[in-house]
Amino acid sequence: MAEPRPRVWASQPLFGDVVDRLRAHFELEVTPEATDHPPARIAEALADADGALVTLNERIGAAEIARAPRLRAVANVAVGYDNLDVPALSAAGVLVTNTPDVLTETTADLGFALLMAAARRIGESERWLREGRWQGWSFDRLLGVDVHGSTLGILGMGRIGQAIARRGRGFGMRVAYHNRSRLPEAVERELGAVRLSFEALLAEADHLVLVLPYSAATHHIVDAAALARMKPTATLVNIARGGIVDEHALAEALAAGRLAAAGLDVFEGEPAVRPELLALRNVVLTPHIGSASLATRRAMAALAVDNLIAALGAGPQAGRPPNPVNAEAVAAAGRKR
């Protein structure tokens, strides 16, 4: 009698034809429609699962896997994984994977779009026009700030940060960055980028783009004190994670004219957005759509499926998922599921 096949839970429907590739190897349970799963439902779904395909909507930690003795792998359909308690999963012998690289250029596109929209007051101008307030051309109406020839500041110079820098060079911008470690000199030359201290970057940037990972160390790294160092004519763009910015302090700075504009794709309490931000006209708000192109989202789902197939010991890359996050920690924990 054949052994039962491993069981996999897909938390969201994603793309049916992509997710269906899992059926060749596993017993697959797919959530039929987009769902906000409460913790108890996540724990129930994982209880008899060997693997899971999840999105940023699903938060998984020790409580959710406490009664999941078979769980061996969780494939996150995202490059970030702050929705997962990686130390808890590692201690339980659960491999975590993510989907880097495939969303780099698309996310950089959105970041630069927000930069331009905030700098040139695109959102504010559109609302003003739609409200029927445009009665004729005026020389000094809705004046923004230039992008070309300005200083582009990038906080966090990983893949996406470097892609933002390349776009900035195309606009003739001076590129400055702050990162925990300096880029290789050859990469700095290619990007035309100079590394500054965090304080100097805040002071010199005409447009500051946040693309650093969220952690306890970066929580509210852009706070009232940091905002006070920025030029009053500057724009701030966040395509990283909401918790990096103290949104109350940001709203106050924008309302008081201490900062010209902002473009935000991520929010600390998302999907909830602070009412103070919603009320402001000098902030462009998008609902976490950094990677939201059809081609990129399909590529992310496909890579997550590849990761899960390999992590559960199937397919041509069995045992060697392309993008493990915690393989060393899992090995060190010595837990075999």
Helix (H) or strand (E) holding 61: none
What DSSP designation does 136 have?
S
Q: Which of 270, 274, 276, 298 is catalytic?
A: 270
Q: Which of 25, 121, 241, 297 is catalytic?
A: 241
Query: Is cis: bond before 13, omega within 30 of 0?
Result: no
Cα–Cα distance between 308 and 310 in angstroms, integer? 5
Cα–Cα distance between 166 and 171 in angstroms, integer? 9
Residue 51 dihedral angles phi and psi, to the nearest 5°: -155, 160
241 is catalytic: yes
Cα–Cα distance between 70 and 296 in angstroms, integer? 31
252 is catalytic: no
23 is catalytic: no
Q: 104-119 and 159-170 are packed helices; what angle lies between their axes, rounded to 10 degrees?
A: 50
Q: Which of 59, 258, 288, 337 is catalytic?
A: 288
What DSSP designation does 21 have?
G
Question: Hey, which residues does 178 pair with through a beta bridge?
Answer: 155
What proportions of the chain, in percent to the nearest 5, are helix, strand and coil?
35, 15, 45
Q: Which residues are catalytic?
A: 241, 270, 288
